[in-house]
Structure 1
């Protein structure tokens, strides 16, 4: 409904439901699962072995996610490129209202052009794009961001087909768990946790157990987030949210749609994910050789160079191909930032379940910040913000990692003595 009847009463509930179901549940749960799989056989191990296992499995997991995104973006690119209203025999209609004379005119005009140079001055795209200048007016620049109606129908149909296909695939391929065995496992796990000096946990009211666990998690969440370790590592998660929202909103709009057309968003997104997949697998294989510290230092130097390049580039029809190169380069940034936030959680948070929740919450806040100021600032201002965020985050993380390393050495010394 939000796609085909965009009004405030369809878009706001859609956004709320997406945040509740997709972000808060899915990503937190998947991160916890991957960590438990990675450390399943390392319960009695500490230090480097756990770090290596975590880095490996998160690299594999993020690589699989990137592969799925490459496939989806490839299909999206094909739909936007080849499916249009002219192909399906639909007519474009736009309505312009003259408020001075109260006259309404209906004109035949395409909503979307693949050659943007004939519609707008592309030298005002990229870092010089300022949404505040056209977002609230009937500017012709808005035309390049609007796909054909037929493209939206095909995209939605394909999306629903993928969702139903996934449910069918899971129902066929996954073994079902008998209810009786499931309940027996829960009872067995609870009995293992009972204290020898107290009544078994099963004797307590269920509501009391659930509430105690909930408030205990919230307490750990607040204590870690307000600790020195939590404060110093929090910018890592914020930066990840800022980074992915910059790529999927600012870069996709001001660089891709504005310069080479909205039909290329799928292709450039696939390039981002392709490089993200490749670099994630490299980090998975090689992270144990150079460690988290050098990943962060590399990420800072690389990001600064990339943001400076996008800041000073002035697009022209003859250099529009650079959009695809930038997309590939942002794929490296995407992989590094995504892996560093998972590595930070697995290394610095004592309670991993709470740590991944903090990661998800702060990453969401980073997303929210970008979308909140997307029409308030020009893109070059946002690039300055990204450069500053990268530098500050890296410096604070170095301090956080140093504190964690000293604490680990102290704890090991105490255990040995």
Structure 2
């Protein structure tokens, strides 16, 4: 039993290393987009295109990649698109950055559901050698996964901060403009005149330091690609603990035979997964049509529609952090080099809370975690709305980055875990649909980043948060009734 656990942990370690470098490198550059490419809004425009296209790709492409290429190569393809996007920032002209942003949309649509599938797989493999319920291990591994995500942000953002801060000191600009705080915080409306007056706060003093940041992050992604090429294996559900809700291999084989008999064309199938994790076939049209049909079917599922506002909100929250918090409450106040330090602090808090939230949810249920998150989140929005930054109270920004981490990780872990619970028989499609709504939320935030004042966005966030709490309550009520009847 102990040797089995060690083997699972060994595989999970290499999986962890790969996504640690991948997420750290890509998102540290993404966080800089609203600042380093602030002129003409090229940075936020490219990010909006990425997440807007990800919505379409989540429906039509991600399920196909998962079922045709398998989980391993789907993850590697996503990593390659991340690398291309980082390299495009060496020459961030619209005709370079926007095509790269469109390409990385494939990676964004694929990477999150793929890696969550791996995480649940390792949890179930570990459960086979443990003495707890499978769901307890799933919650634990999902918590570790998101903690790893936040640790990657700490590592990469501190690297970014160190390079940009060192560059500022080495290539110091003695003529740097005085900051007008009245254009920061909730009053940040992306006024072109204000942006030009404070341009030194948004862009590095020297391009050399920016190129060094891009080069280091590209190197991390190359390492992560090599790790997955050499160490990562496709999911094998035969190694997982038996789940009573999962069909047996005989049932899956019977279902496979019935599917082939009713098909217009008799083709040789290949390895239909017993838990719907992935499906490979020699005829590409079979998984294409099947995946699209299942995705739309789940999108229209009543409980999914009730969970959708929360998934959308969690994406909008992430988009706000990446596009507005990093600029209006970061570079606008301190300079672009401060983004790395602020986001590292944000990630430290998020990593700690990820583990605590998972334990809290396992012990007391998701409702307790959600209500706690709601209280923290609402308080944070109100503070962002009414706080007036000045040179005497800038220390409050650190509290902002800590509390937004608490709220963000609460929604991401809780809602993804809810999708696992509600749609356990179609995990791959459920993760794709969850990821789709997150992408929509991020795309919306980046899309209107230069059009709306931060104050207006905060009011919108508060409204969607309250609505999401109500719809989640209805979904939870339905799920409890189903459990009683089942």
TM-score, structure 2 length as denominator?
0.69
Return closer, same or farther for 1:198/1:329 CA change in 2, 3 Å cut-off. Answer: closer
Q: CA deviation at 1:331?
A: 1.3
Alignment of 1:296 with 2:370, yes or no, is yes
CA deviations on 1:164-207 (whole Å, 9 max, x unpaired) are 333455567x3889xxxxxxxxxxx9999433995997972456
Distance 1:3 1:175, change over 3 A: closer
- Return 5+ residue gaps in structure 1 as ranges: 93-108, 178-188, 412-417
Match of 1:13 among 74, 92, 99: 99
State the alpha-carbon separation in 2 of the partners of residues 138 and 79 from structure 1.
Answer: 24
Give 2:267's aligned residue: 204
Once residues 54 and 330 of structure 1 are traced to their aligned partners in structure 2, the CA distance between those partners, rounded to angstroms, is 25
Moved more, 195-204 or 364-373: 195-204
Distance 1:167 1:399 in 2: 42
> Out of 362, 373, 382, which is 1:308 matched to?
382
| Match among 140, 147, 152 for residue 197 of structure 2 | 140
- Correspondence for 2:468: 393
Say which of 78, 85, 91 aligns to 2:162: 78
Q: Shift of residue 139 of structure 1?
A: 2.4
Q: 2:309·2:468 contact (CA, 8 Å) conserved in 1?
A: yes
Which residue of structure 1 aligns with residue 338 of structure 2?
Answer: 264
Match of 2:184 in 1: 125
**1:38 deviation in Å?**
2.2
Residue number in structure 1 paired with 2:315:
241
User: Following superposition, which runs of at least 4 residues in structure 1 exceed 6 angstroms of deviation?
Assistant: 189-192, 199-203
Q: Distance in 1 between matches of 2:228 and 2:139?
A: 27
Instruction: Assess if the C-alpha contact under 8 Å between 2:179 and 2:198 holds in 1.
Output: yes
Q: Confirm or deny: 8 A CA contact 2:143 2:355 kept in the other structure.
A: yes
Q: Distance in 1 between matches of 2:121 and 2:376?
A: 31
Aligned equivalents of 1:337, 1:71: Cα separation in 2: 23
2:216 matched to 1:158?
yes
Task: Report the secondary structure of 2:392's partner residue.
Answer: helix
Cα shift readout 1:245-299 (whole Å, capped 9, x = no counterpart): 1111111000111111111100000011111100011123232221111111111
Structure 2: give runs of 5+ residues left out of the alignment: 1-86, 235-247, 270-280
SS of residue matched to 1:39: helix
| Cα separation, 1, equivalents of 2:291 and 2:195 | 50
Task: Provide the TM-score with structure 1 as the length reference.
Answer: 0.80
Cα-Cα RMSD = 2.9
Kindly tell me the number of residue pairs found equivalent between the two proteins. 367
Deviation at 1:146, TM superposition (A): 1.2
Output aligned runs, 1:322-401, within 5 Å: 322-349=396-423, 350-401=425-476
CA drift of 1:35 comes to 1.7
List aligned pairs for 1:81-96, cutoff 5 A: 81-84=165-168, 87=170
> 2:201·2:335 contact (CA, 8 Å) conserved in 1?
yes
Are residue 3 (structure 1) and residue 3 (structure 2) matched?
no
C-alpha deviation, 1:231, in angstroms: 0.9
